[in-house]
Structure 1
Amino acid sequence: MGKILVTGATGNVGKHVVSQLAEAGLEVRALVRDPGRAWLPAETVRGDLTVPETLEPALKDVESVFLLWPGFTTDHAAEVVTTIAEHARRVVYLSANVPEQPVKHYHEIERLIRHSGLGWTFLRPGGFAANTLGWAGQIRQGVVRWPYGQAARSLIHEKDVAAVAVHVLTSAGHNGATYVLSGPEQLTQAEQVRVIGEVTGREVRWEEQPPEEARDQFTAAWFVDSALKTWESFVTTPEQLTDTVERLLGRSPLTFRQWAEEHAADFS
Protein backbone atom coordinates (compact mmCIF):
# COMPACT_ATOMS: atom_id res chain seq x y z
CA MET A 1 0.00 0.00 0.00
CA GLY A 2 1.29 3.45 -0.94
CA LYS A 3 1.79 6.45 1.26
CA ILE A 4 -1.28 8.22 2.67
CA LEU A 5 -1.45 12.01 3.09
CA VAL A 6 -3.69 13.28 5.88
CA THR A 7 -4.88 16.88 5.74
CA GLY A 8 -6.40 18.56 8.80
CA ALA A 9 -3.93 16.36 10.65
CA THR A 10 -4.05 18.21 13.97
CA GLY A 11 -7.85 18.51 14.09
CA ASN A 12 -10.41 16.48 16.02
CA VAL A 13 -10.66 13.79 13.35
CA GLY A 14 -7.36 14.13 11.50
CA LYS A 15 -5.16 13.49 14.54
CA HIS A 16 -6.95 10.17 15.09
CA VAL A 17 -6.63 9.24 11.41
CA VAL A 18 -2.87 9.83 11.66
CA SER A 19 -2.45 7.88 14.89
CA GLN A 20 -4.60 4.94 13.75
CA LEU A 21 -2.72 4.65 10.45
CA ALA A 22 0.61 4.88 12.26
CA GLU A 23 -0.44 2.22 14.78
CA ALA A 24 -1.27 -0.06 11.85
CA GLY A 25 2.29 0.35 10.59
CA LEU A 26 1.29 2.21 7.41
CA GLU A 27 3.18 4.99 5.68
CA VAL A 28 1.44 8.20 6.65
CA ARG A 29 2.34 11.83 6.05
CA ALA A 30 0.62 14.67 7.91
CA LEU A 31 0.02 18.03 6.25
CA VAL A 32 0.32 20.80 8.86
CA ARG A 33 0.86 24.54 8.85
CA ASP A 34 3.66 24.38 11.44
CA PRO A 35 5.55 21.05 11.70
CA GLY A 36 7.44 22.36 14.73
CA ARG A 37 4.24 22.47 16.77
CA ALA A 38 2.61 19.28 15.49
CA TRP A 39 3.21 16.40 17.87
CA LEU A 40 2.13 13.54 15.64
CA PRO A 41 3.39 9.95 15.28
CA ALA A 42 4.13 10.42 11.59
CA GLU A 43 6.14 12.33 9.04
CA THR A 44 4.96 15.94 9.02
CA VAL A 45 5.25 18.37 6.12
CA ARG A 46 4.44 22.03 5.91
CA GLY A 47 1.46 22.92 3.74
CA ASP A 48 -1.77 24.85 3.60
CA LEU A 49 -4.83 23.97 1.52
CA THR A 50 -5.59 27.66 1.10
CA VAL A 51 -2.19 28.00 -0.62
CA PRO A 52 -2.35 25.25 -3.28
CA GLU A 53 1.25 25.61 -4.42
CA THR A 54 2.43 24.31 -1.03
CA LEU A 55 0.91 20.89 -1.75
CA GLU A 56 3.39 19.67 -4.36
CA PRO A 57 6.10 18.50 -1.90
CA ALA A 58 3.51 16.94 0.40
CA LEU A 59 2.03 14.84 -2.42
CA LYS A 60 5.30 13.27 -3.55
CA ASP A 61 4.92 9.45 -3.65
CA VAL A 62 1.41 9.68 -2.17
CA GLU A 63 -1.22 7.19 -3.32
CA SER A 64 -4.23 8.21 -1.21
CA VAL A 65 -5.37 11.41 0.48
CA PHE A 66 -7.66 12.00 3.44
CA LEU A 67 -9.13 15.41 2.65
CA LEU A 68 -10.67 17.70 5.22
CA TRP A 69 -11.47 21.10 3.76
CA PRO A 70 -10.80 24.13 6.01
CA GLY A 71 -13.44 26.82 6.36
CA PHE A 72 -16.80 27.38 4.75
CA THR A 73 -15.85 28.62 1.28
CA THR A 74 -14.48 26.82 -1.76
CA ASP A 75 -11.74 29.34 -2.49
CA HIS A 76 -8.82 27.47 -4.17
CA ALA A 77 -10.70 24.15 -3.93
CA ALA A 78 -10.55 23.53 -7.69
CA GLU A 79 -6.77 24.06 -7.68
CA VAL A 80 -6.33 21.77 -4.68
CA VAL A 81 -8.39 18.95 -6.16
CA THR A 82 -6.56 19.26 -9.49
CA THR A 83 -3.18 19.14 -7.74
CA ILE A 84 -4.18 16.06 -5.76
CA ALA A 85 -5.40 14.36 -8.94
CA GLU A 86 -2.04 14.98 -10.61
CA HIS A 87 -0.25 12.93 -7.94
CA ALA A 88 -2.58 10.60 -6.05
CA ARG A 89 -4.97 7.88 -7.17
CA ARG A 90 -7.76 8.22 -4.63
CA VAL A 91 -9.22 10.56 -2.05
CA VAL A 92 -11.41 10.05 1.00
CA TYR A 93 -13.23 13.32 1.60
CA LEU A 94 -14.73 14.21 4.97
CA SER A 95 -17.95 15.87 3.86
CA ALA A 96 -21.10 16.29 6.00
CA ASN A 97 -24.67 15.05 6.13
CA VAL A 98 -26.21 18.47 5.53
CA PRO A 99 -28.60 19.95 2.95
CA GLU A 100 -27.05 21.62 -0.06
CA GLN A 101 -28.77 24.89 0.79
CA PRO A 102 -27.46 26.98 2.44
CA VAL A 103 -24.35 24.89 3.30
CA LYS A 104 -23.01 24.65 -0.23
CA HIS A 105 -19.28 24.10 0.12
CA TYR A 106 -19.37 20.40 1.04
CA HIS A 107 -21.41 19.57 -2.06
CA GLU A 108 -19.34 21.79 -4.35
CA ILE A 109 -16.14 20.04 -3.28
CA GLU A 110 -17.81 16.66 -3.78
CA ARG A 111 -18.66 17.71 -7.35
CA LEU A 112 -15.08 18.80 -8.00
CA ILE A 113 -13.79 15.44 -6.77
CA ARG A 114 -16.33 13.46 -8.82
CA HIS A 115 -15.06 15.12 -11.99
CA SER A 116 -11.35 14.97 -11.12
CA GLY A 117 -10.55 11.47 -12.34
CA LEU A 118 -9.66 10.39 -8.79
CA GLY A 119 -11.09 7.32 -7.14
CA TRP A 120 -13.19 8.71 -4.31
CA THR A 121 -15.20 7.94 -1.19
CA PHE A 122 -17.27 10.52 0.67
CA LEU A 123 -17.87 10.34 4.41
CA ARG A 124 -20.93 12.28 5.54
CA PRO A 125 -21.14 12.38 9.35
CA GLY A 126 -23.96 14.17 11.09
CA GLY A 127 -23.38 16.08 14.31
CA PHE A 128 -20.06 15.63 16.10
CA ALA A 129 -20.05 14.93 19.84
CA ALA A 130 -17.09 17.31 20.02
CA ASN A 131 -19.37 20.22 19.12
CA THR A 132 -20.79 20.09 22.64
CA LEU A 133 -17.44 21.44 23.87
CA GLY A 134 -18.98 24.79 22.94
CA TRP A 135 -21.05 24.47 26.10
CA ALA A 136 -18.00 24.02 28.35
CA GLY A 137 -18.15 27.50 29.85
CA GLN A 138 -21.84 27.19 30.63
CA ILE A 139 -21.37 23.65 32.00
CA ARG A 140 -18.88 25.06 34.51
CA GLN A 141 -21.48 27.63 35.56
CA GLY A 142 -24.12 24.95 36.03
CA VAL A 143 -26.63 26.17 33.44
CA VAL A 144 -26.68 25.66 29.67
CA ARG A 145 -28.91 28.26 28.07
CA TRP A 146 -29.45 27.26 24.46
CA PRO A 147 -32.33 26.93 21.98
CA TYR A 148 -34.23 23.75 21.13
CA GLY A 149 -33.45 21.52 24.09
CA GLN A 150 -35.69 18.80 22.63
CA ALA A 151 -33.74 18.63 19.36
CA ALA A 152 -32.61 14.99 19.11
CA ARG A 153 -29.16 14.37 17.65
CA SER A 154 -27.28 11.19 16.73
CA LEU A 155 -23.86 12.59 17.65
CA ILE A 156 -20.80 10.66 16.55
CA HIS A 157 -17.46 10.29 18.32
CA GLU A 158 -14.57 11.72 16.31
CA LYS A 159 -12.65 8.47 16.83
CA ASP A 160 -15.37 6.58 14.97
CA VAL A 161 -15.20 8.99 12.02
CA ALA A 162 -11.44 8.46 11.95
CA ALA A 163 -11.79 4.67 12.21
CA VAL A 164 -14.15 4.62 9.23
CA ALA A 165 -11.75 6.83 7.27
CA VAL A 166 -8.85 4.49 8.04
CA HIS A 167 -10.91 1.45 7.07
CA VAL A 168 -11.86 3.02 3.75
CA LEU A 169 -8.30 4.18 3.07
CA THR A 170 -6.85 0.73 3.70
CA SER A 171 -9.40 -1.65 2.18
CA ALA A 172 -10.98 -2.25 -1.21
CA GLY A 173 -14.58 -1.92 -2.32
CA HIS A 174 -15.29 1.69 -1.38
CA ASN A 175 -14.66 3.49 -4.65
CA GLY A 176 -17.63 5.70 -5.54
CA ALA A 177 -19.31 5.11 -2.17
CA THR A 178 -20.97 7.74 0.01
CA TYR A 179 -21.27 6.77 3.67
CA VAL A 180 -23.61 8.59 6.05
CA LEU A 181 -22.26 8.23 9.60
CA SER A 182 -23.92 8.62 12.98
CA GLY A 183 -23.54 7.62 16.58
CA PRO A 184 -25.54 4.71 18.05
CA GLU A 185 -28.34 6.71 19.69
CA GLN A 186 -30.49 9.82 19.50
CA LEU A 187 -30.22 12.15 22.48
CA THR A 188 -31.87 15.52 22.85
CA GLN A 189 -29.62 18.47 23.53
CA ALA A 190 -31.00 18.65 27.07
CA GLU A 191 -30.14 14.95 27.54
CA GLN A 192 -26.61 15.58 26.27
CA VAL A 193 -26.18 18.24 28.95
CA ARG A 194 -27.50 15.84 31.58
CA VAL A 195 -24.98 13.17 30.54
CA ILE A 196 -22.09 15.66 30.65
CA GLY A 197 -23.20 16.73 34.12
CA GLU A 198 -23.34 13.12 35.30
CA VAL A 199 -19.86 12.19 34.08
CA THR A 200 -18.30 15.40 35.42
CA GLY A 201 -20.11 15.21 38.76
CA ARG A 202 -21.69 18.62 38.27
CA GLU A 203 -25.23 19.83 38.82
CA VAL A 204 -26.10 21.16 35.36
CA ARG A 205 -29.54 22.14 34.14
CA TRP A 206 -30.92 23.10 30.77
CA GLU A 207 -32.51 26.51 30.28
CA GLU A 208 -34.45 27.01 27.07
CA GLN A 209 -33.30 30.06 25.13
CA PRO A 210 -35.57 31.85 22.64
CA PRO A 211 -34.20 31.38 19.09
CA GLU A 212 -34.31 35.15 18.50
CA GLU A 213 -31.98 35.70 21.45
CA ALA A 214 -29.61 32.99 20.24
CA ARG A 215 -29.49 34.57 16.78
CA ASP A 216 -28.06 37.76 18.27
CA GLN A 217 -25.13 35.82 19.77
CA PHE A 218 -23.76 34.62 16.45
CA THR A 219 -21.86 36.80 14.02
CA ALA A 220 -22.30 34.72 10.85
CA ALA A 221 -25.95 35.22 9.90
CA TRP A 222 -25.99 32.45 7.28
CA PHE A 223 -24.64 29.98 9.84
CA VAL A 224 -27.03 30.80 12.65
CA ASP A 225 -30.06 30.75 10.36
CA SER A 226 -29.04 27.33 9.07
CA ALA A 227 -28.25 26.01 12.56
CA LEU A 228 -31.48 27.23 14.12
CA LYS A 229 -33.53 25.80 11.29
CA THR A 230 -31.71 22.46 11.63
CA TRP A 231 -32.12 22.27 15.41
CA GLU A 232 -35.80 23.14 15.10
CA SER A 233 -36.30 20.33 12.58
CA PHE A 234 -34.66 17.83 14.95
CA VAL A 235 -37.38 18.48 17.55
CA THR A 236 -39.98 16.74 15.39
CA THR A 237 -37.69 14.68 13.13
CA PRO A 238 -34.58 13.48 14.99
CA GLU A 239 -31.22 13.51 13.24
CA GLN A 240 -30.68 10.48 11.01
CA LEU A 241 -29.48 7.30 12.69
CA THR A 242 -27.47 4.87 10.53
CA ASP A 243 -25.80 1.48 10.94
CA THR A 244 -22.85 2.46 8.74
CA VAL A 245 -20.18 2.46 11.47
CA GLU A 246 -21.21 -0.98 12.71
CA ARG A 247 -21.49 -2.34 9.17
CA LEU A 248 -18.02 -1.13 8.16
CA LEU A 249 -16.13 -1.68 11.41
CA GLY A 250 -17.91 -4.73 12.78
CA ARG A 251 -18.61 -3.06 16.14
CA SER A 252 -21.09 -0.64 17.62
CA PRO A 253 -20.25 3.07 17.50
CA LEU A 254 -18.98 4.69 20.67
CA THR A 255 -21.75 6.26 22.75
CA PHE A 256 -22.08 9.91 23.72
CA ARG A 257 -21.49 8.92 27.36
CA GLN A 258 -18.20 7.28 26.37
CA TRP A 259 -17.21 10.46 24.55
CA ALA A 260 -18.16 12.61 27.54
CA GLU A 261 -16.16 10.40 29.91
CA GLU A 262 -13.08 10.76 27.70
CA HIS A 263 -13.54 14.55 27.58
CA ALA A 264 -14.65 15.17 31.17
CA ALA A 265 -11.55 17.24 31.88
CA ASP A 266 -12.48 19.63 29.07
CA PHE A 267 -15.61 20.62 31.00
CA SER A 268 -13.83 21.03 34.34
Structure 2
Amino acid sequence: MSVIVFGPTGNVGSFAARTAHQHGAKVVLAMRDTSKSIPGLAMDDEKRGGFERVTADLTKPDTVAAAVKQSGAKRAFIYLAHQAQDHMKATIEALKTSGIELVVFLSSYTVTRFGSLDVPKEEIIPWLHAEVEKNLETTFGSKGYVALRPGAFATNAAGWWRQMIRAGEVQMFAPQLKFDWTAAEDMGGVAGVILAQGPKNGEKIVHIFGPNYISQQQAFEIVQKEALNKPVKLTIIDNPELNTKNMQSLAPGPIAKYLTDKMVARSKESDELEFPNLKEGQDNVQKYTGRPAVTFEQYVKGNKADFE
Protein backbone atom coordinates (compact mmCIF):
# COMPACT_ATOMS: atom_id res chain seq x y z
CA MET A 1 0.00 0.00 0.00
CA SER A 2 1.36 3.40 -1.04
CA VAL A 3 0.32 6.36 1.13
CA ILE A 4 1.06 10.08 1.06
CA VAL A 5 1.39 12.16 4.21
CA PHE A 6 0.91 15.91 3.93
CA GLY A 7 2.66 17.93 6.62
CA PRO A 8 5.25 15.35 7.74
CA THR A 9 7.40 18.07 9.31
CA GLY A 10 4.72 18.53 11.98
CA ASN A 11 4.56 16.33 15.06
CA VAL A 12 1.36 14.49 14.11
CA GLY A 13 2.31 14.11 10.45
CA SER A 14 5.74 12.77 11.37
CA PHE A 15 4.28 10.12 13.66
CA ALA A 16 1.67 9.23 11.01
CA ALA A 17 4.35 8.74 8.36
CA ARG A 18 6.64 6.68 10.56
CA THR A 19 3.80 4.53 11.90
CA ALA A 20 2.43 3.81 8.42
CA HIS A 21 5.93 2.72 7.37
CA GLN A 22 6.25 0.47 10.42
CA HIS A 23 3.03 -1.23 9.34
CA GLY A 24 4.27 -1.99 5.86
CA ALA A 25 3.16 1.00 3.81
CA LYS A 26 5.25 2.72 1.18
CA VAL A 27 5.30 6.31 2.47
CA VAL A 28 5.60 9.49 0.44
CA LEU A 29 6.29 12.73 2.32
CA ALA A 30 4.47 15.72 0.80
CA MET A 31 5.78 19.09 1.94
CA ARG A 32 6.13 22.69 0.82
CA ASP A 33 9.88 22.66 1.43
CA THR A 34 11.46 19.29 0.70
CA SER A 35 14.74 20.35 2.31
CA LYS A 36 13.23 20.37 5.79
CA SER A 37 14.00 17.63 8.29
CA ILE A 38 11.32 15.24 9.56
CA PRO A 39 11.05 15.09 13.37
CA GLY A 40 12.09 11.68 14.65
CA LEU A 41 13.28 10.47 11.25
CA ALA A 42 17.02 10.64 10.57
CA MET A 43 18.02 11.05 6.93
CA ASP A 44 19.78 7.68 6.89
CA ASP A 45 16.66 5.96 8.25
CA GLU A 46 14.56 7.82 5.71
CA LYS A 47 16.71 6.50 2.86
CA ARG A 48 16.85 2.95 4.22
CA GLY A 49 13.09 2.96 4.73
CA GLY A 50 12.41 3.91 1.13
CA PHE A 51 10.59 7.13 1.98
CA GLU A 52 10.16 9.57 -0.89
CA ARG A 53 9.74 13.33 -0.81
CA VAL A 54 7.51 15.36 -3.11
CA THR A 55 6.68 19.05 -3.22
CA ALA A 56 3.06 19.91 -2.42
CA ASP A 57 0.99 22.57 -0.68
CA LEU A 58 -2.53 21.81 0.55
CA THR A 59 -3.57 25.37 -0.34
CA LYS A 60 -2.60 24.74 -3.99
CA PRO A 61 -4.72 21.91 -5.45
CA ASP A 62 -2.62 21.58 -8.60
CA THR A 63 0.46 20.72 -6.52
CA VAL A 64 -1.58 18.19 -4.56
CA ALA A 65 -2.76 16.47 -7.74
CA ALA A 66 0.77 16.40 -9.14
CA ALA A 67 2.20 14.94 -5.93
CA VAL A 68 -0.39 12.18 -5.76
CA LYS A 69 0.03 11.26 -9.42
CA GLN A 70 3.80 11.21 -9.06
CA SER A 71 3.63 9.02 -5.95
CA GLY A 72 0.90 6.63 -7.05
CA ALA A 73 -0.49 6.79 -3.51
CA LYS A 74 -3.97 5.45 -2.77
CA ARG A 75 -4.38 6.82 0.75
CA ALA A 76 -3.62 10.29 2.13
CA PHE A 77 -3.25 12.02 5.49
CA ILE A 78 -4.30 15.67 5.55
CA TYR A 79 -4.96 18.39 8.11
CA LEU A 80 -6.91 21.66 8.11
CA ALA A 81 -5.12 24.19 5.88
CA HIS A 82 -6.53 27.51 7.02
CA GLN A 83 -5.56 29.43 3.87
CA ALA A 84 -7.21 26.94 1.51
CA GLN A 85 -10.22 28.17 -0.44
CA ASP A 86 -13.76 26.84 0.08
CA HIS A 87 -12.80 24.72 3.09
CA MET A 88 -10.33 22.69 1.02
CA LYS A 89 -12.99 21.70 -1.51
CA ALA A 90 -10.69 21.98 -4.54
CA THR A 91 -7.85 20.26 -2.69
CA ILE A 92 -10.11 17.36 -1.74
CA GLU A 93 -11.35 17.06 -5.31
CA ALA A 94 -7.73 17.03 -6.49
CA LEU A 95 -7.00 14.14 -4.14
CA LYS A 96 -9.93 12.20 -5.58
CA THR A 97 -9.26 12.83 -9.26
CA SER A 98 -5.57 12.00 -8.92
CA GLY A 99 -6.23 8.55 -7.48
CA ILE A 100 -6.66 8.75 -3.70
CA GLU A 101 -9.20 6.22 -2.41
CA LEU A 102 -9.11 6.93 1.35
CA VAL A 103 -8.38 10.18 3.18
CA VAL A 104 -7.46 10.36 6.86
CA PHE A 105 -8.29 13.88 8.07
CA LEU A 106 -7.07 15.35 11.35
CA SER A 107 -10.30 16.94 12.55
CA SER A 108 -11.35 17.96 16.08
CA TYR A 109 -13.32 16.48 18.97
CA THR A 110 -15.23 19.77 19.15
CA VAL A 111 -17.28 18.74 16.11
CA THR A 112 -18.83 15.82 18.00
CA ARG A 113 -20.67 18.06 20.48
CA PHE A 114 -23.04 19.23 17.76
CA GLY A 115 -24.28 15.79 16.75
CA SER A 116 -23.92 16.54 13.03
CA LEU A 117 -21.75 18.52 10.63
CA ASP A 118 -24.17 21.46 10.70
CA VAL A 119 -22.13 23.58 13.08
CA PRO A 120 -22.89 27.30 13.56
CA LYS A 121 -20.28 29.54 11.92
CA GLU A 122 -19.61 31.42 15.15
CA GLU A 123 -18.31 28.15 16.66
CA ILE A 124 -15.16 28.76 14.67
CA ILE A 125 -12.98 25.75 15.54
CA PRO A 126 -15.59 22.99 15.12
CA TRP A 127 -17.14 24.85 12.17
CA LEU A 128 -13.87 24.98 10.22
CA HIS A 129 -13.27 21.26 10.74
CA ALA A 130 -16.89 20.28 10.06
CA GLU A 131 -16.88 22.11 6.74
CA VAL A 132 -13.87 20.10 5.60
CA GLU A 133 -15.59 16.90 6.72
CA LYS A 134 -18.62 17.93 4.65
CA ASN A 135 -16.44 18.30 1.58
CA LEU A 136 -14.87 14.91 2.22
CA GLU A 137 -18.33 13.36 2.52
CA THR A 138 -19.46 14.97 -0.73
CA THR A 139 -16.36 14.01 -2.72
CA PHE A 140 -15.35 10.65 -1.24
CA GLY A 141 -18.59 9.34 0.27
CA SER A 142 -18.95 7.87 3.74
CA LYS A 143 -16.50 5.02 3.09
CA GLY A 144 -13.80 7.14 1.47
CA TYR A 145 -12.52 9.05 4.47
CA VAL A 146 -11.87 8.80 8.19
CA ALA A 147 -12.20 11.84 10.44
CA LEU A 148 -9.84 11.65 13.39
CA ARG A 149 -11.27 13.71 16.23
CA PRO A 150 -8.56 14.15 18.86
CA GLY A 151 -8.97 16.05 22.10
CA ALA A 152 -6.91 18.94 23.42
CA PHE A 153 -3.34 18.63 22.21
CA ALA A 154 -0.70 18.02 24.87
CA THR A 155 1.53 20.41 22.92
CA ASN A 156 -0.91 23.21 23.77
CA ALA A 157 0.67 23.31 27.22
CA ALA A 158 3.98 24.43 25.75
CA GLY A 159 2.23 26.79 23.35
CA TRP A 160 0.29 28.44 26.17
CA TRP A 161 3.02 28.62 28.77
CA ARG A 162 6.45 28.66 27.13
CA GLN A 163 6.81 32.45 26.81
CA MET A 164 5.50 33.00 30.33
CA ILE A 165 7.84 30.31 31.70
CA ARG A 166 10.74 32.19 30.15
CA ALA A 167 9.54 35.34 31.91
CA GLY A 168 9.33 33.49 35.24
CA GLU A 169 5.55 33.71 35.77
CA VAL A 170 2.68 31.70 34.30
CA GLN A 171 -0.69 33.46 34.39
CA MET A 172 -3.45 30.85 34.39
CA PHE A 173 -7.15 31.42 33.74
CA ALA A 174 -9.68 28.88 35.08
CA PRO A 175 -7.03 26.55 36.55
CA GLN A 176 -9.65 23.95 37.49
CA LEU A 177 -10.67 23.25 33.89
CA LYS A 178 -9.76 19.75 32.79
CA PHE A 179 -8.30 18.63 29.47
CA ASP A 180 -7.25 15.23 28.19
CA TRP A 181 -3.85 16.36 26.80
CA THR A 182 -3.75 14.15 23.68
CA ALA A 183 -0.21 13.32 22.57
CA ALA A 184 0.88 13.80 18.95
CA GLU A 185 2.32 10.29 19.13
CA ASP A 186 -1.18 8.89 19.68
CA MET A 187 -2.85 10.99 16.99
CA GLY A 188 -0.16 10.15 14.47
CA GLY A 189 -0.01 6.54 15.61
CA VAL A 190 -3.71 5.96 15.00
CA ALA A 191 -3.52 7.86 11.70
CA GLY A 192 -0.57 5.78 10.52
CA VAL A 193 -2.26 2.48 11.29
CA ILE A 194 -5.39 3.56 9.41
CA LEU A 195 -3.29 4.67 6.45
CA ALA A 196 -1.58 1.28 6.29
CA GLN A 197 -4.46 -1.02 7.24
CA GLY A 198 -7.68 0.95 6.89
CA PRO A 199 -10.16 1.74 9.67
CA LYS A 200 -11.40 -0.99 11.99
CA ASN A 201 -15.02 -2.05 11.54
CA GLY A 202 -15.49 0.56 8.83
CA GLU A 203 -15.28 3.43 11.31
CA LYS A 204 -15.70 6.87 9.75
CA ILE A 205 -15.14 8.85 12.94
CA VAL A 206 -12.34 7.91 15.34
CA HIS A 207 -12.02 9.82 18.60
CA ILE A 208 -8.59 10.01 20.21
CA PHE A 209 -8.14 11.18 23.79
CA GLY A 210 -5.29 11.21 26.25
CA PRO A 211 -5.38 8.99 29.37
CA ASN A 212 -5.03 11.84 31.88
CA TYR A 213 -8.16 13.95 32.24
CA ILE A 214 -6.55 16.51 34.53
CA SER A 215 -6.82 20.22 35.25
CA GLN A 216 -4.59 22.92 33.85
CA GLN A 217 -3.10 23.45 37.29
CA GLN A 218 -2.31 19.74 37.68
CA ALA A 219 -0.72 19.76 34.23
CA PHE A 220 1.43 22.76 35.10
CA GLU A 221 2.57 21.07 38.31
CA ILE A 222 3.77 18.13 36.18
CA VAL A 223 5.62 20.52 33.88
CA GLN A 224 7.15 22.26 36.88
CA LYS A 225 8.35 18.96 38.33
CA GLU A 226 9.54 17.21 35.18
CA ALA A 227 10.73 19.89 32.76
CA LEU A 228 11.74 23.12 34.48
CA ASN A 229 15.14 23.77 35.95
CA LYS A 230 14.13 27.03 37.60
CA PRO A 231 11.28 28.18 39.85
CA VAL A 232 8.33 29.61 37.94
CA LYS A 233 5.56 31.47 39.72
CA LEU A 234 1.96 30.41 39.05
CA THR A 235 -0.54 33.27 39.21
CA ILE A 236 -4.27 32.62 38.93
CA ILE A 237 -6.06 35.29 36.90
CA ASP A 238 -9.78 35.96 36.41
CA ASN A 239 -9.50 38.45 33.55
CA PRO A 240 -10.73 36.92 30.25
CA GLU A 241 -9.17 39.73 28.19
CA LEU A 242 -5.75 39.08 29.70
CA ASN A 243 -6.15 35.37 29.02
CA THR A 244 -7.00 36.08 25.38
CA LYS A 245 -3.86 38.21 25.09
CA ASN A 246 -1.74 35.46 26.64
CA MET A 247 -3.24 32.82 24.35
CA GLN A 248 -2.22 34.70 21.23
CA SER A 249 1.15 33.01 21.57
CA LEU A 250 -0.73 29.84 20.57
CA ALA A 251 -3.50 31.07 18.25
CA PRO A 252 -4.54 34.15 16.22
CA GLY A 253 -6.65 36.78 17.97
CA PRO A 254 -10.16 35.60 16.96
CA ILE A 255 -9.38 31.97 17.83
CA ALA A 256 -7.72 33.01 21.09
CA LYS A 257 -10.88 34.92 22.02
CA TYR A 258 -13.06 31.96 21.03
CA LEU A 259 -10.98 29.65 23.23
CA THR A 260 -11.26 32.05 26.16
CA ASP A 261 -15.03 32.34 25.70
CA LYS A 262 -15.25 28.53 25.75
CA MET A 263 -13.20 28.41 28.95
CA VAL A 264 -15.58 30.91 30.56
CA ALA A 265 -18.57 28.82 29.46
CA ARG A 266 -17.00 25.57 30.67
CA SER A 267 -16.45 27.14 34.08
CA LYS A 268 -20.22 27.30 34.42
CA GLU A 269 -21.11 23.78 33.26
CA SER A 270 -20.15 20.15 33.75
CA ASP A 271 -16.85 19.12 32.19
CA GLU A 272 -18.46 15.89 31.05
CA LEU A 273 -20.31 17.90 28.40
CA GLU A 274 -16.97 18.83 26.83
CA PHE A 275 -15.63 15.29 26.38
CA PRO A 276 -18.67 12.98 25.96
CA ASN A 277 -16.63 10.28 24.17
CA LEU A 278 -13.70 10.32 26.58
CA LYS A 279 -13.50 6.59 27.38
CA GLU A 280 -14.02 5.58 23.74
CA GLY A 281 -11.27 7.93 22.58
CA GLN A 282 -8.85 6.67 25.22
CA ASP A 283 -9.54 3.05 24.27
CA ASN A 284 -9.06 3.78 20.56
CA VAL A 285 -5.35 4.38 21.05
CA GLN A 286 -4.88 0.84 22.40
CA LYS A 287 -7.27 -0.57 19.79
CA TYR A 288 -5.37 0.86 16.84
CA THR A 289 -1.76 1.03 18.02
CA GLY A 290 -1.67 -1.96 20.38
CA ARG A 291 -0.19 0.13 23.19
CA PRO A 292 -1.57 2.37 25.95
CA ALA A 293 -2.04 6.05 25.25
CA VAL A 294 0.84 8.38 26.15
CA THR A 295 0.38 10.05 29.53
CA PHE A 296 0.89 13.77 29.99
CA GLU A 297 3.84 13.06 32.25
CA GLN A 298 5.44 10.90 29.55
CA TYR A 299 4.92 13.66 27.01
CA VAL A 300 6.53 16.27 29.26
CA LYS A 301 9.51 14.04 30.14
CA GLY A 302 10.12 13.31 26.47
CA ASN A 303 9.77 16.92 25.32
CA LYS A 304 11.42 19.04 28.00
CA ALA A 305 12.92 21.35 25.40
CA ASP A 306 9.40 22.42 24.36
CA PHE A 307 9.06 24.29 27.65
CA GLU A 308 12.42 26.07 27.59
TM-score of the two chains, using structure 2 as the length reference: 0.79
Give 1:158 deviation, angstroms: 0.3
Q: Which residue of 2 aligns with 1:126?
A: 151
Give 1:16 deviation, angstroms: 1.2
Letter in 2 for 1:237: S
Matched, 1:204 2:213: no
CA distance in 1, matches of 2:7, 2:284: 23
Q: Which residue of 2 aligns with 1:62?
A: 73
Give 1:7 deviation, angstroms: 0.7
TM-score of the two chains, using structure 1 as the length reference: 0.90
> Structure 1 residues 76, 95: CA separation in 2 closer, same or farther (over 3 Å shift)?
closer
Find the partner of 2:270 among 234, 237, 261. Answer: 237
1:70 match: secondary structure: coil
Contact 1:5/1:59 (<8 A) preserved: yes
Q: Which residue of 2 aligns with 1:102?
A: 124
| Greater fraction of residues in helix | 2
CA distance in 2, matches of 1:215, 1:111: 30
- Taking only the aligned residue pairs, the percentage that are identical comes to 25
Give 1:55 deviation, angstroms: 1.4
Across the two proteins, how many residue pairs are aligned to each other?
267
Letter in 2 for 1:213: L
CA distance in 2, matches of 1:74, 1:48: 13
Q: Which residue of 1 aligns with 2:185?
A: 159
Letter in 2 for 1:248: Y
Residue deviations 1:7-60 (CA, integer Å, cap 9, x gap): 111112001111222334420101101112234522110111111111122112
Contact 1:31/1:58 (<8 A) preserved: yes
Residue deviations 1:219-256 (CA, integer Å, cap 9, x gap): 84431232012223444433422332233334321100
1:35 match: secondary structure: coil
Contact 2:87/2:131 (<8 A) preserved: no
Letter in 1 for 2:224: G
Q: Which residue of 2 aligns with 1:228?
A: 260
Letter in 1 for 2:93: T
CA distance in 2, matches of 1:211, 1:205: 20
Residue deviations 1:108-162 (CA, integer Å, cap 9, x gap): 0000001113511110011100111121122234321131111110111100001
Residue deviations 1:173-214 (CA, integer Å, cap 9, x gap): 354520121100211111111100100244334212211222
1:144 match: secondary structure: strand
CA distance in 2, matches of 1:138, 1:131: 13
CA distance in 1, matches of 2:145, 2:24: 23
1:13 match: secondary structure: helix
CA distance in 1, matches of 2:30, 2:145: 19
CA distance in 2, matches of 1:205, 1:246: 37
> Structure 1 residues 117, 37: CA separation in 2 closer, same or farther (over 3 Å shift)?
closer
Q: Which residue of 2 aligns with 1:30?
A: 29
CA distance in 1, matches of 2:207, 2:264: 21
- Where does the alignment leave 5 or more consecutive residues of structure 2 unmatched? 112-118
> Structure 1 residues 142, 194: CA separation in 2 closer, same or farther (over 3 Å shift)?
farther
Find the partner of 1:178 among 175, 181, 205. Answer: 205
| Segment drifting more, 27-36 vs 63-72 | 63-72
CA distance in 1, matches of 2:209, 2:158: 18
Contact 1:8/1:32 (<8 A) preserved: yes
Contact 1:50/1:76 (<8 A) preserved: no
Contact 2:173/2:243 (<8 A) preserved: yes
CA distance in 2, matches of 1:165, 1:25: 14
Matched, 1:261 2:301: yes
Contact 2:147/2:205 (<8 A) preserved: yes
> Structure 1 residues 237, 247: CA separation in 2 closer, same or farther (over 3 Å shift)?
farther
CA distance in 2, matches of 1:174, 1:120: 13
Contact 1:211/1:228 (<8 A) preserved: yes
| Segment drifting more, 210-219 vs 245-254 | 210-219
